[in-house]
Amino acid sequence: MVVALNSVHWPVATVTPLFMSSIQTDEPRTALVAMHKISKAYPGCLANDAVNLMIHQGQIHALLGENGAGKSTLVKILYGLLQADSGYVEWQGARVSISSPAVARELGIALVFQHFSLFESLSVLENIALGMAVPATQNLKQNIIDVSQRYGLPLDPDRQVYTLSVGERQRIEIVRCLLQEPKLLIMDEPTSVLTPQEVNDLFVTLKRLASEGVAILYISHKLNEIKALCSEATILRGGKHVATADPQQRSTHELASLMMGDELLIPQRQEHAIEDSVLLQLNNVSRTTSEQHGVPLHNIELQVHAGEIVGIAGVAGNGQDELLQVISGEHRSSDADSVSINGEGVGVLAPGARRELGLCCVPEERLGHAAVPSMSLVENAFLTAHHRIPMRTAGLFSLKKSARFAEKVIEQFNVQCNGSGAVASSLSGGNLQKFIVGREIEQQPLVFVVSQPTWGVDAGAASAIHTALQQMASRGAAVLVISQDIDELMLISHRIAALCAGRLSNTYSTTSVSVQEVGVLMGGGSIADGAVA
C-alpha cells in the first residue's frame, strides 16, 4: 500500500503531552526490549520511520495503528523476519542483532501470526513440533493437550491442518507460542476469531502470563480490548510513531483519532421498516461433507427479508464455510428449493446462474478464494462481475469496460492501491477486502451474503464496509452477514442467530438479546424463547 506521507496532517500539538507516560513514569529498571529509531523502507513506501518501542517485563503493551501504519513491519523486525535499515534493538539492556526468527526465539520472543504459517498437510502436533524444532513425541502431544485445556483453546493434536478453520489454526499458533514459555509474547489481532466468553478467558490467560512476568505486545484495532487489557499503547500512523499513551487514561475516541488522524465515522444501527418480501430463503438445508473434518449442516432454516441485515454469529469451524458454499452455489444440492432467491428455487444452479438472479457472495478467505492473488484488480473485477455488468465486447473480454468497473469500485470504496492494474496480493488486507466487498456491492445485488466482512481489517475500513452494508439494505437488498465478531453483528444487524456445529439457532432481534446471550447461542446453548424474532 502506498502511503501518501505528505498529505497526512500530524496533530503534533495534541500528541506531545502523551509522551509523558513513557518518559515521566518510566521506572529506573531497564526495559525487556527497546527498539530505537527503527526505520525500514520498501520500494515506494517508508514503512517505519524512526519508530521507538519500549516494553517492560510483565507489561501488556498495545501496538495500535491502521493497516499500512507499519505495525506488521515493526513486529517482523522485532521477530527477525525483516532487518531494519537503521536503528537498533536492545534486549534486557544489551544491544542485539535479531537476524532470524530462530534468534528471536532463542531470546524468548514468540509471535502469534495474523496470517498463519502452517503446513497444511501435516497434523497439529507435527506443525507445532516443526515450529519448535523438536520431535513430535507423545510428551509434546500431552503438553499441547495440557496447554490448550489450561487456556481454553480446544485443539486435537492429531488433526490435519488443512481440515481446520481459520479460528482453529489460530489456536495452533497461540498454543505453539505458549509452549515455548516466552519472555515476550507478540499477539497479532488474536481475538478476532473468539467468542466473547473465549475472549474473556484469553484475557484472563494473558493477564496471568503478565503477572508471571511475561511481557505481551498486543496488536489490535479493537480499542475496547486495548482499554481492558493494556497498560501502555504505542500508536503508529503512516509509518511514524505518533504517540505513546496510557489507554486507561484516554477515551476510546481519543485513541481512535490518534490512530486514524481524522474523525472516525462510527455507524449506528439503522432502524427502518423491513419489507415483507423474503429475498433469501434456506429451506431445511442439510449437507454432508466429503472432507474428513468438514462440518455437516443440519436442517438449516433461514429467511432474510428485503431491507434487512441478518447476522450469523459463531466461532470459526462451525459450518460457516459450508453454509456459504451452499448459498453461493459452490456446493450444489439436488433439491432446487433448498435455497431460494426472491421465491425462485436455485439449489441446483451454479454460482454464475445465481449471480444473474441477483445473489452476490463474499467468502471469508480473501486471497485465493474471493480474489486471485496474482491477477490485477481489473481481472479480479471481471472474475465475478461479468455476469451482471457488461464487460465483454462480442463475447470477448473488454479491458476497457472491465477497467472502468474496477476503477469505479476503487473510487467508491476508497481502495488504496497502485491503480486498477495492481495485482490483488499487493494490496493490504483491509484494502483488498474493501475492493472485494465493493466489487459485489457495485453489482447491485438483490441478496448479499458476506463472511467475516472485517476480519483483520482496520477500524477505518471496517466502518466503511459497515456503512456500505447498511446502505445496501436501506436500498432494499437482503443482507446476510456471517461473522465471528459479535460486536460487529450487534452493531449492524437487525436480527441475529448463531451457528454451532452445523446447526443454526433461532433468530432473535438484536435489540432484545445481549452479547452474553448470543455467546450462549454460539456455544450451542439456548436462551429464553421470548425474544425469538
Partner 1 sequence: MISLQPRQQPSKLMGLLAPLLALLLTVLAGLVLFALLGVPVGQGFYAFFIEPVSSVYGLSELGVKAAPLIMIAVALSVGYRSNVWNIGAEGQLILGGICGGAVALYFYEVDAWYVLPLMMLSGVLGGMLWAAIPALLRTRFNANEILTSLMLTYIAALLLSLLVHGPLRDPDGFNFPESRLFHAAATLPNIMQGTRLHIGALVALLLVVVTWVLLSRTLLGFALKVNGQAPRAGQYAGFTQNRLIWFSLLYCGACAGLAGLFEVAGPIGQLLPTISPGYGFTAIIVAFLGRLHPVGVVFAGLVMALSYLGGESAQISLNLPVAVTGVFQGMLLFFLLAADVLIHYRLVWRRTGVAA
In terms of CB distance, is 99 or 414 closer to partner 1? 99
Instruction: DSSP letter for 350, please.
Output: -
For 479, residues 6+ apart whose C-beta sits below 8 A from its C-beta are 304, 308, 309, 310, 447, 448, 449, 450, 469, 472, 473
How do 86-91 and 94-96 pair as beta strands? Answer: antiparallel
Nearer CB in complex with partner 1: 273/394 = 394
Q: Is 375 in the site for partner 1 (CB under 8 A)?
A: yes
Asked if 83 is part of the footprint of partner 1 (rule: CB under 8 A), the reply reads no
If one counts every other C-beta atom within 10 angstroms of the C-beta of residue 225, the result is 20
DSSP 69-105: SSHHHHHHHHTTSS--SEEEEEETTEEE---SHHHHH
Window of 30-38, 99-107, 109-117, 203-211 that interacts with partner 1 by CB under 8 A: 99-107
Rounded distance between C-alpha atoms, residue 425 and residue 360, angstroms: 22
Per CB under 8 A, the segment of 295-303, 349-357, 458-466, 511-519 that binds partner 1 is 349-357
Number of residues that bind partner 1 (CB under 8 A): 37
Shortest CA distance to 466 belongs to which of 226, 457, 381? 457
Rounded least distance, CB 438 to partner 1, Å:
16
Q: Interface with partner 1 includes 374 (CB under 8 A)?
A: yes
Cell of 446: 438483490
Contact flag: residue 307 with partner 1 (CB under 8 A): no
Query: Grid coordinates representing 524?
Result: 450451542
Q: Which stretch binds partner 1 (CB under 8 A): 195-203, 244-252, 362-370, 444-452?
A: 362-370
Residues 471-490 that bind partner 1 (CB under 8 A): none
Nearer to partner 1, 47 or 63 (CB): 47
Burial class for 255, CB neighbours closer than 10 Å (0-12, 13-18, 19+):
buried
Helices (H), 442-514: 459-474, 486-492
Answer yes or no whether residue 329 interacts with partner 1 by CB under 8 A.
Answer: yes
Please state, in angstroms and rounded to a whole number, the distance separating the CA atoms of residues 210 and 205.
9
Residues 6+ apart with CB under 8 A from 349: 329, 332, 336, 357
Which range, of 202-210, 216-224, 390-398, 493-501, touches partner 1 by CB under 8 A? 390-398
Closer residue to partner 1 (CB): 343 or 395: 395
368 binds partner 1 (CB under 8 A): yes
Q: Which is nearer to partner 1, 323 or 513 (CB)?
A: 323
SS3 readout for 27-76? CCCCCCEEEEEEEEEECCEEEEEEEEEEECCCCEEEEECCCCCCHHHHHH
Q: Candidates 26, 106, 120, 411: give the one binding partner 1 (CB under 8 A).
A: 106
For residues 67 and 261, what is the distance between their CA atoms, to the nearest angstrom?
13
**Candidate list 294, 351, 456, 519; residue touching partner 1; CB under 8 A:** 351
Task: Report the candidate in 67, 19, 23, 24 with the shortest Cα–Cα distance to residue 47.
Answer: 67
| One of 145, 266, 383, 531 touching partner 1 (CB under 8 A) | 383
Between 362 and 500, whose beta carbon lies closer to partner 1? 362
- Beta-bridge partners for 274: none
- Encoded one letter per residue, x for contact with partner 1 by CB under 8 A and - for no contact, window 247-286 reads ----------------------------------------
Nearer Cβ to partner 1 (34/361): 361
Give the separation between CA 129 and CA 194, rounded to whole angstroms: 24
Which of 43, 135, 343, 530 binds partner 1 (CB under 8 A)? It is: 43
With contacts defined by CB under 8 A, name the span among 177-185, 295-303, 378-386, 509-517 that binds partner 1. Answer: 378-386
Does position 371 interact with partner 1 (CB under 8 A)? The reply is yes
Taking CB under 8 A as the binding criterion, the range among 324-332, 467-475, 487-495, 504-512 that sits at the site for partner 1 is 324-332
Q: Does 524 bind partner 1 (CB under 8 A)?
A: no
Rounded distance between C-alpha atoms, residue 235 and residue 28, angstroms? 23
| Pairwise CA distance, residues 531 & 525, whole Å | 15
Enumerate residues 396-435 that contact partner 1 by CB under 8 A: 396-397
Contacting residue, 40, 176, 305, 355, with partner 1 by CB under 8 A: 355
Residue from 150, 272, 392, 475 touching partner 1 (CB under 8 A): that is 392
Is residue 170 part of the contact set for partner 1 (CB under 8 A)? no
User: Residue 201, exposed/middle/buried by CB under 10 A (0-12, 13-18, 19+)?
Assistant: middle
Q: Which of 85, 246, 254, 330 binds partner 1 (CB under 8 A)?
A: 330
What is the spatial distance between Cα 317 and Cα 54, in angstroms, rounded to a whole number?
Answer: 37
Cell of 444: 447491485
Q: 386, 434, 494, 495: which one contacts partner 1 (CB under 8 A)?
A: 386
* 379 versus 517: smaller Cβ distance to partner 1: 379
Q: Considering beta carbons, is residue 10 or 42 the nearer one to partner 1?
A: 42
**Are β-strands 184-188 and 396-397 bridged in parallel, bridged antiparallel, or unpaired?**
unpaired
Reference 442, options 498, 485, 386; nearest CA is 386
Does residue number 511 form part of the binding site for partner 1 (CB under 8 A)?
no
Residues in region 215-234 near partner 1 by CB under 8 A: none
Q: β-strands 297-305, 309-313: how paired?
A: unpaired
Q: Which is nearer to partner 1, 15 or 375 (CB)?
A: 375
Compute the distance between CA of residue 93 and CA of residue 32 in angstroms, rounded to an integer.
7
Helix axes 399-412, 429-441, angle to 10 degrees: 110
Give the residues lining the site for partner 1 (CB under 8 A): 42-43, 96-97, 99, 102-103, 106, 328-330, 350-353, 355, 361, 363, 365, 367-375, 379, 382-384, 386, 392, 395-397
